[in-house]
Structure 1
Amino acid sequence: MKFIFLDFDVIKGEEIDLHLMKTVPGNKDKNWVPAYHFNISLSGLSKPIGKIDIRIGYNENLYYGGHIGYSVNEQYRGNHYAAKAVWLLRKVAHAHEMEKLFITCNPDNIASRKTCEYVGANLLEIVDVPKENEMYQRGEKEKCIYEWVCT
């Protein structure tokens, strides 16, 4: 069955908006699922203050890599913009009938761990990344696995 990207050009929030930058189809050979990539901007502005993406589907890679990845430019940190962007992505998750997402981070990434806790994600475990996983080969040996029920 062919995956169909839905129309999410701009997702508006109270303080921030998400602007779709690109969509990436899945790659069966690499076990990658389709993804949406957004810039985060302050509401009504187009200048990016960060990035966020959401991967659609479920597989073993996503348990370690997560469904959502984000970063906020340094001068905008401390305002919960990453968490607010995660909340806005609920629209995309719901449109693709996804109610439970994994968000992962390195154990020493305190800001990302706080973001996961702020959105109400539950820490399932801290795990060793399998040696055959691409993240392990990039030097990422451990991951905090959070589960976010985004209903």
Structure 2
Amino acid sequence: MTLSGSDLKNKSTSSPFLTPPLLRDNDLLLSLARTTPADPGKKHVPGYLFLMVHLPDRAVAGVVSLRIGNPETDLYFPGQIGYRVRKAYRGRHYAERSLKLILPFAREHGWKSLWISCRPDNAASRKCCEHNGGKLHEMTGMPEWHEMYGQGYREICRYVIDL
């Protein structure tokens, strides 16, 4: 489901969501697929999910999420940004370019910085952060109680990007 700008504007004023601008460069478009509400039971914060659309063939090349929450508490481990690129579209810098496109929209939420986490052995994700001004803040272990531990994460790199 894709929400239009008018759908987002019609939400209550207590909504954390803003209407995203056109997020596009060359052959890449970030298309808002949906917004997700908070789920306190799962300790999930509200967020946006964008599709990375490869414009020449209108195919979905991947996804990028922007999470609305406190990076020091709610998002300490997962960070405010998440991205996945389909194998067929890797090597085109879609995650790096998507992050670059989404940074001004993140700034509109009033944030001074943005936090991103990745596995230490994920060189592509680390470069994505670094090429967008990210600085490695720390490497930290994943506690067993966190859902990311169940997904195989044992250690993460936490990057910060000054907005």
TM-score with structure 2 setting the length: 0.82
Q: How does 1:90-109 map to 2 (within 5 A)?
A: 90-109=103-122
Structure 2 CA distance, aligned partners of 1:68 and 1:111? 15
Structure 1 CA distance, aligned partners of 2:80 and 2:89? 23
User: Contact 1:9/1:19 (CA < 8 Å) preserved in 2?
Assistant: no
Structure 2 CA distance, aligned partners of 1:95 and 1:45? 31
Q: Which of 49, 57, 76 matches 1:37?
A: 49
Question: CA separation of 1:93/1:44 partners in 2, compared to 1, >3 Å: closer, same or farther?
Answer: farther
User: Could you say which residue in structure 2 is the equivalent of 1:25?
Assistant: 37
Deviation for aligned residue 1:65: 0.5
Q: How does 1:41-60 map to 2 (within 5 A)?
A: 41-43=53-55, 46-59=58-71, 60=73
Q: Deviations over 1:90-126 (max 9, x none)?
A: 2321221122111111111111111111111001111
TM-score with structure 1 setting the length: 0.88
Deviation for aligned residue 1:87: 1.0
User: Contact 1:9/1:20 (CA < 8 Å) preserved in 2?
Assistant: no
Deviation for aligned residue 1:50: 1.2
Question: CA separation of 1:142/1:134 partners in 2, compared to 1, >3 Å: closer, same or farther?
Answer: same
User: Could you say which residue in structure 2 is the equivalent of 1:16?
Assistant: 28
Question: CA separation of 1:100/1:9 partners in 2, compared to 1, >3 Å: closer, same or farther?
Answer: closer
Instruction: Determine if the alignment matches structure 1 residue 124 to structure 2 residue 137.
Output: yes
User: Could you say which residue in structure 2 is the equivalent of 1:72?
Assistant: 85
Q: What letter is aligned with 2:61?
A: I
Give the fraction of aligned pairs with identical amino acids, expressed as a percent. Answer: 36
User: Could you say which residue in structure 1 is the equivalent of 2:97?
Assistant: 84
RMSD, aligned CA: 2.0
Alignment length (residue pairs): 150
Deviation for aligned residue 1:45: 5.5
Q: Which runs of 5+ in 1 are unaligned?
A: none
> Which region of structure 1 is more displaced relative to structure 2, 62-71 or 3-12?
3-12
Q: Which runs of 5+ in 2 are unaligned?
A: 1-12
Question: CA separation of 1:10/1:21 partners in 2, compared to 1, >3 Å: closer, same or farther?
Answer: farther
Q: Deviations over 1:107-149 (max 9, x none)?
A: 1111111111111100111100122211123331111111111
Q: Secondary structure at the match of 2:76?
A: helix
User: Contact 2:46/2:67 (CA < 8 Å) preserved in 1?
Assistant: yes
